[in-house]
Amino acid sequence: MKRTRYSEEQIIGILTEHEAGAKCADLCRKHGISEGTFYAWKSKFDGMTVSDAKRLKMRCP
């Protein structure tokens, strides 16, 4: 299985940059991800904090 490139903390950091006003295309170019990946992350992690993501990871193996 392929290992993920970004941790949950990093993903939430990228989404926080977007909420602060950065454009999606600029963030995708900066971090080397596709817009599809960005929106998939947004649907999964939108509104979460780092502690929420860690808690979710502990529940789901």
Is this structure's pTM higher than 0.75?
A: yes
Mean pLDDT, rounded, for 45-50: 82
Domain boundaries, position 12:
8-54
Residue 42 falls within a domain, yes or no? yes
Residue 2 falls within a domain, yes or no? no
Mean pLDDT, rounded, for 2-6: 75
Residue 29 falls within a domain, yes or no? yes
Residue 60 falls within a domain, yes or no? no
Q: Where are the beta strands (DSSP E) in 1-61?
A: none
Output 11 or 58, whichever has higher pLDDT: 11
Residue 61 falls within a domain, yes or no? no
Give the tens place of pLDDT for each residue, 14-46: 999 999 999 999 999 999 999 999 999 999 888
Q: Which amino acid is at 26?
A: D
- Counting the structural domains of the chain, the total is 1
Residue 59 falls within a domain, yes or no? no
